[in-house]
Amino acid sequence: MTPELFDTHCHFMPGVDIGAQIARAKECGVTRIMAVGGSRELNETAARAGTGFFAVGWDRDQYGKIGEEDFPFDGNCAAVGEIGLDYFYDPDHRKEQLELFERQLQLAAGLDKPVVIHTREADDDTLGALKSIPSRGIIHCFTGSPDFCRKLLDLGFMISISGIVTFRRADNVRESALVVPDDRILIETDSPFLAPVPMRGKDNEPSFLVHTARFLASLRKTEFEDFAALTTANALKTLCTH
Ligand SMILES: [Zn+2]
């Protein structure tokens, strides 16, 4: 029997054949997928993807593009996301990003939902926000240092590792992936971006999760079957809280 994997982070771009992607994923054992939003278009495709789990929210580049009528969210979502801070891409609008992030942390806390957080070159502000607004959920596509990873683990967060961990230059991601204990690690594709080795250069999709899962199992010196089982159990525990 193929072990069942859970892709905790996938964006379905408008126009892609979602049914075909889900079918290919199933053939590879990727039986669960969380479709993740972040913009108007992605929130709509995520909510309609029919994968059983979806997240909706406003990503760091949505400040100024949304209004009061865009809050709150679809209460059927499994999580609020993705939300967060990216000071690498947009260092000039830290204040706007932070405001939008904190507002949605409050909202998720009010809805009692987990959050899906993107954080890049914004360690201090991410930690500050999560300390001031008690939250739970997932740090997605983690690429930070082992030290930052430990601080997020201390706050109770799950750490999700993407295909970046398979990239040749990603020693720091491999180091961080080894810091995460068995009961806190998740895996994701972040499709259609960041296809793992040996699929680099292609459009990523949930079926490719297998490559990241196999790589991580071997990195962590775990049997693939055990790693699949524990990451799937972790995802269900994080997202099925009611
Ligand atoms: Zn994403």
Beta bridge partners of 160: 186
Q: Kindly give the distance from the C-alpha atom of residue 16 to the centroid of ligand 1, in angstroms, as a whole number.
A: 16
Other CB atoms within 10 A of residue 20 CB: 10
Q: Which fold has domain 31-227?
A: TIM Barrel (3.20.20)
Band of the pLDDT at 242, cuts 50, 70, 90? Answer: low
Q: Kindly give the distance from the C-alpha atom of residue 203 to the centroid of ligand 1, in angstroms, as a whole number.
A: 14
Mean pLDDT of 177-198: 97
Residues 142-172 have pLDDT tens digits of 999 999 999 999 999 999 999 999 999 999 9
Return the structure tokens found at 96.
């706007």
**3-class DSSP state for residue 72?**
coil
Q: Is the pLDDT of residue 23 over 90?
A: yes
Residue type for position 53: F
Q: Kindly give the distance from the C-alpha atom of residue 131 to the centroid of ligand 1, in angstroms, as a whole number.
A: 23
Q: Is the pLDDT of residue 71 over 90?
A: no
Q: Kindly give the distance from the C-alpha atom of residue 160 to the centroid of ligand 1, in angstroms, as a whole number.
A: 11
Q: Kindly give the distance from the C-alpha atom of residue 130 to the centroid of ligand 1, in angstroms, as a whole number.
A: 19
Mean pLDDT of 103-127: 96
* Those residues with Cβ within 8 angstroms of residue 31's Cβ, 6 or more apart along the chain or in another chain: 4, 5, 6, 25
What is the Cα–Cα distance from 44 to 47, expressed in whole angstroms?
5
Look at the block and give the residue holding tokens 């997202």: 239
**3-class DSSP state for residue 48?**
helix
Beta bridge partners of 186: 160
Band of the pLDDT at 1, cuts 50, 70, 90? Answer: low
Of the candidates 158, 167, 221, the residue with the CA atom closest to the CA atom of residue 187: 158
Q: Is the pLDDT of residue 6 over 90?
A: yes
Q: Kindly give the distance from the C-alpha atom of residue 211 to the centroid of ligand 1, in angstroms, as a whole number.
A: 18
Band of the pLDDT at 69, cuts 50, 70, 90? Answer: confident
Residues 191-237 have pLDDT tens digits of 999 999 999 999 999 999 999 999 999 999 999 999 999 999 999 99
Q: Is the pLDDT of residue 239 over 90?
A: yes
Side by side, which strands form the sheet with 5-10? Answer: 5-10, 30-36, 52-56, 79-86, 115-120, 137-139, 158-161, 185-187
User: Between residues 70 and 161, which one has the greater pLDDT?
Assistant: 161
Q: Kindly give the distance from the C-alpha atom of residue 59 to the centroid of ligand 1, in angstroms, as a whole number.
A: 9
Mean pLDDT of 52-70: 92
- Read off the pTM: 0.96
